[in-house]
Amino acid sequence: MAMTDTTPDTPIETPEAVPVETAPAEAVPKVRRRTVADLNRGVETIKAYLRTLPVTPGVYRMMNEGGDVLYVGKARNLKRRVANYTVPAKLPVRLQRMVAETVTMEFVTTHTEVEALLLESNLIKRLMPRYNVLLRDDKTFPHIMITRDHDYPALIKHRGARDRAGDYFGPFASAGAVNRTITALQRAFLLRNCTDSVFSTRTRPCLQFQIKRCTAPCVGRVNRAQYGEQVDEAAAFLAGKSRDIQTRMASAMMAASEALDFETAAKMRDRIRALTAIQAHQDINVEGMEDADIIAAYQDGGSTCIQVFFFRGGRNNGNRAYFPSHDKNQGTAEVLSAFIAQFYDNRAAPGLVLISEDAEEQELLAEALTLRAGRKVELAVPKRGDKKRLMDHALTNAREAHGRRLSETGSQAKLLAGVAELFGLEAPPTRIEIYDNSHIQGAHPIGGMVVAGPDGFIKNAYRKFNIRDPKAAGDDFAMMREVLTRRFERALKEDPERTGDTWPDLLLIDGGEGQLGVVVEVLAELGLSDIALVGIAKGPDRDAGRERFFMPGRAPFGMDPRDPVLYFLQRLRDEAHRWAIGSHRQRREKAISASPLDEVAGIGPKRKKALLLHFGSAQAVSRAGLADLRAVDGISDAVAKIIYDHFHPDG
């Protein structure tokens, strides 16, 4: 979010240098100390831009000598806003540091301040400037989907782009919440969850029918009209009409009972129980609130936890905690405003967003959310009643999650200090990279890198390396050489001065003396001999707890099996192992599922599906004649000729 508060806050008096390491470790990379001369130079740089800046709304970017974006801000009046940075005495120390690093700026004008706010939040998420409040954990949320591109729609979990025809319900806070809801919905509405290809090849009911979670439309146990009623009921329930659905089911159960059709009555009873189970799993509900997000922010000790609760169709779809990265001196209102702008950057807000306190530029935020959603969005602070009670519940969750985070961070700090002592490091490491390889007899070889820091695993920094050299496949030493070479050649290319925050303090290699020797050679060739290296190998019989550690110039050593630092190192090693094996499996499964049709030019998913449904297999497609290929829906004469020529190059 753009900083609109220019109240003086500990201005620089006349020090020799301006410190830059006071922000949280994850937000500020290792950079050189800035002098007063740097600050003056930054001010002059900004003044030079003022001569040509317009007085219109827009977005500005401040960049350092390496071209990295330091800060993205928006303004109603670009010239007036940027001019604030030319008076250092009125800037907080954090912004003085930023000005001292600024060597160039870029500007984009917009028609309105709302457009500037939307562009600002988009750029912040894409560029991740270290002086902005940053929402780092921004995974897409899962939804429940009822497909609408098949005669017998399926009830499935969906995540990602909405590029398939269907009804989407959500978001849900986690995949677990979606899975539990789908299971209960299957019991209540008996909808299929199989893929279309499985559906088309069934010759008898599957297990879902046997356990009363599907009516087996694949084999004609229910006709299209009857199944359509089940689908409509499920869609109505997910849209919030649960009371009407349950009333109808109760009436049907009573009618069946009075007609002495006890089997049908029992089935309706079971379906009603399933619906009740879905609603009973709600932690807290508010009568009359259909679609809303609850956002509660708790701040203490210079860090903030933000809890988001999702209510859709009158039901609680779960909650998730966020810990945005920000300067310790930024207040809750500023952090909350920046969080909301970034959180809704790639998703539409519901009609009502309740927040725990007034956010900075709240009216402008509400206008921006309305513009992005294409309908009215209300941003409000509840003052009394059920909504206030709900907000208090969310705040309690935020406070408790914040406490757990502080406790975990404290424990992590002790463990990192123990690692530094064990391996003779000058200070606790802020970035540990752990490497492992995976393959099966040389097939589909892959290398994995995981990263850990003061706040635990940094999953968005994980990397996988498909081994390119065919001679390296199956050779653990050669694979490790390729992985480390590619990793650090790219790092040197992108950051030759090593001023960024992507350089490790410690490399942990899953392997013994041989693997460590390879890494030593690679780093020496690249001139990076100052990075600490440790190899970790399992002891006799590969027993956990009897690991041996290898370091250059030091005899191998072990640790007390009950030492917490050993458990910590084992966890790091096991995470790298899990990541490497998982990446290898994905690559292997992708290779197994690959089809010869994937190599045919002009054959996309729809044509591929049509061909497979018509011929039954890719092999049958390869043997088909031109006339047979032309008979497939969606395959023109020209496309049929392309397919035929691909499989019959000799004519």
CATH of the domain at 636: 1.10.150.20
Q: Report the alpha-carbon distance of residue 55 to residue 65 in Å, rounded.
A: 27
| Whether residue 297 is found in the same domain as residue 381 | yes
Q: Which residues pair with 146 in a beta bridge?
A: 155, 167
On whether residue 255 sits in a domain, the answer given is no
Mean pLDDT of successive 10-residue segments in the chain (651 residues)? 36 34 37 73 93 92 91 94 92 90 94 93 91 80 90 90 87 84 85 89 89 90 91 84 74 81 78 68 58 92 90 83 89 94 89 94 93 92 90 92 85 92 93 89 83 89 88 85 93 85 92 90 91 86 73 91 89 91 78 69 80 78 85 86 82 58
Taken in order 282, 168, 179, 318, the sign of the CA dihedral is negative
Same domain as 514, residue 440: yes
Within-domain flag for 590: no
Helices (H) and strands (E) in the chain, counts: 20, 21
Q: What is the CATH number of the domain that holds 372?
A: 3.30.420
Domain-embedded: residue 287: no
Pair (98, 215) in one structural domain: no
User: So what's the pLDDT on residue 651?
Assistant: 58
Q: Residue 559: left (phi > 0), alpha (psi -120 to 50), or beta?
A: beta
Would you call the peptide bond into 171 cis, given omega within 30 degrees of 0 as the criterion? yes
What's the start-to-end Cα distance of the chain, in Å?
63
Using the Cα atoms of residue 546, residue 547, residue 549 and residue 555 in order, give the sign of their dihedral: positive
| CATH number for the domain that contains residue 116 | 3.40.1440.10
Same domain, 499 and 450: yes
Last residue in a domain, options 240, 264, 283? 240
Torsion over CA: 641, 642, 647, 650 (sign): positive
Indicate the SS3 state at residue 297: strand
Looking at residue 515, its amino acid is: Q
DSSP state of 134: B
Regarding whether 378 and 323 lie in a shared domain, the answer is yes
Number of domains in the chain: 5
Residue 339: which residues within 8 A CB-CB, separation 6 or more? 133, 135, 295, 297, 306, 322, 324
- The residue length of the chain stands at 651
Task: Tell me if 359 is assigned to some domain.
Answer: yes
Query: Following DSSP, what letter does each residue of 189-206 receive, concatenated?
Result: H----S-HHHHHH-SS--
- Decide which of 127, 156, 175 is a domain's last residue: 127
CA dihedral 451, 454, 458, 463 (to 10 degrees): -10
Question: How much is the pLDDT for 424?
Answer: 93
195 and 58 within one domain: no
Asked if 510 contacts 577 with a C-beta cutoff of 8 angstroms, the reply is yes
Domain contains 420: no
Do 191 and 109 have their domain in common? Answer: no
Q: Are 310 and 365 contained in the same domain?
A: yes
pLDDT at 10: 34
> Which parts of 92-245 are beta strand (E)?
104-109, 143-147, 155-158, 166-169
Q: Do 100 and 181 fall into the same domain?
A: no
* pLDDT at residue number 48: 92
Q: Please check whether residue 81 lies inside any domain of the structure.
A: yes
Residue 113 lies in a domain: yes
Q: Supply the pLDDT for residue 308.
A: 94
Distance of alpha carbon 105 from alpha carbon 613, whole angstroms: 56
Among 341, 371, 404, the domain boundary falls at: 404
Count other C-beta atoms under 10 Å from residue 460's C-beta: 11
CB distance 376 to 401 below 8 Å: no
Q: Could you tell me the CA-to-CA distances from 253 to 191, 248, 265 in Å, in that order?
A: 19, 9, 5
Same domain, residue pair 122 and 94: yes
Whole-angstrom Cα distance, residue 649 to residue 148? 40
DSSP letter string, 235-267: HHHHTT-HHHHHHHHHHHHHHHHHTT-HHHHHH
Q: Answer yes or no: is 203 within a domain.
A: yes
Is residue 374 a contact partner of residue 348, using CB atoms and an 8 Å limit?
A: yes
Query: What residue type is 366 in one-letter code?
Result: A
**In contact, 516 and 532? CB cutoff 8 Å:** no
Residue 380 belongs to domain spanning: 292-404
- Claim to verify: residue 453 and residue 573 sit in the same structural domain: yes
Count of other CB atoms within 10 angstroms of residue 315: 20
Residues 55 and 44: their CA atoms lie apart, in Å, by: 20
The answer to pTM > 0.75 is: no
Same domain, 536 and 600: no
For residue 471, give the CATH number of its domain.
3.30.420.340
